[in-house]
Amino acid sequence: SVQEIKEELIKKYLLNPIKISTANGPAKYFHIKGGEGTIGFITALSQHFCKTCNRIRLTSEGKLRPCLFSNKEVDIKQAIRNAKTDDKIIRSEIIRNNIGEAISIKPEGHKLNNKFSNRDFFKMSKIGG
């Protein structure tokens, strides 16, 4: 778990939490005293952050996925192709509407701890993460 990893790091290093804007996503960042850079932890299972999640993903197939752990998607690529126009204003409106739809179907939480959840959809090379 993240807690176990942090405990191991604390045995050797001093970890200083870094306050970062929530716009930066779900990771909790730390600076290791005497080191360069930062280390971040994402705790999808042990400390849920679904209610504050500000992410949607564009898959390699042109679909917007409102939750990394959900199989719900909005096919933005097909919507743009179906418009059959090069008009930038119309295309921008299609993109805006599809992003809005993806945001509106974001689930309140994931079911990763549910032994019946279907994890076959969870392939990072397909999702783009």
Query: Can you give the residue ranges of every domain in the chain?
Result: 2-41, 55-127
The tens place of each residue's pLDDT in the chain, 129 residues long, gives 778 888 888 898 888 888 877 666 777 888 888 888 888 887 766 666 677 778 888 988 999 998 877 888 999 999 999 999 999 999 999 999 999 999 999 887 766 655 545 555 556 666 665
Q: State the residue for tokens 């564009």.
A: 58
Instruction: Please give the model's pTM, rounded to 2 decimal places.
Output: 0.64
Q: State the residue for tokens 């932890």.
A: 41
Alpha helices, DSSP H, located in 1-129: 2-12, 76-83, 88-104, 124-127
Q: CA-CA distances (angstroms) from residue 45 to 41, 59, 76, 83, 110?
A: 12, 22, 29, 40, 9
CA pair distance 56, 53, nearest whole angstrom = 9
Model confidence pLDDT, tens digit, residues 5-14: 888 888 988 8
